[in-house]
Amino acid sequence: MSDKPHPVNIQVHQQSRLLDIAFDDGAHFSLPCEYLRVYSPSAETRGHSPATAKLEKDKEEVTITQIEQVGQYAVKIYFNDGHNSGLYDWQYLYNLGKHRDELWQNYLDKLEAVGHKRKEPKLIPREGGG
């Protein structure tokens, strides 16, 4: 048996643009789609070194269209901007949740350093009209 936490429930909330993930150690994280997108583990986003990492911008309204489990160790997340490379393994998702505040602030600081302003995302209309 592994001492690394494994998810017991993963749920996407389209309207709030959140991925809820609960782990077997009792940890629970609500991770915004934008956060997951800008911290994609893909080589396209992370680069092959910190110097080649890409600063993702204008992802405020990105949503998850599909999640596909990969073996017993990861998920592949499909975003509505067409991005779907990179595997989010359990440890990576856990670390994104555990360090969310500092990683998010780091992202905001990088945007500010290049003079980019985030837009407030538009609300997604409720399904069925209301």
Residues of the chain with pLDDT under 50: 1, 128-130
- Residue 1 has what pLDDT? 46
Q: Is 15 helix (H, G, I), strand (E, B) or coil?
A: coil
State whether the Cα torsion 110-66-96-69 is positive or negative.
negative
> What is the rounded distance in angstroms from the CA atom of residue 49 to the CA atom of residue 33?
24
Residue 44 near residue 103 (C-beta atoms within 8 A): no
- Residue 123 has what pLDDT? 64
Closest CA to 86 of 116, 112, 56, 110: 56
Q: Which residues contact 80 (CB under 8 A, 6 or more apart)?
A: 62, 63, 64, 65
CATH, residue 13: 3.30.2020.30
Number of domains in the chain: 1
Q: Is 34 helix (H, G, I), strand (E, B) or coil?
A: helix
pTM of the model: 0.89
Kind of pairing between the strands at 87-89 and 74-79: antiparallel
* 122 falls within a domain: no
Q: Which residues contact 62 (CB under 8 A, 6 or more apart)?
A: 17, 33, 34, 37, 79, 80, 81
Q: What domain range is 109 assigned to?
A: 7-113
* 120 falls within a domain: no
* 40 falls within a domain: yes
* 118 falls within a domain: no
Token code pair at residue 85:
């490379």
- Residue 50 has what pLDDT? 79
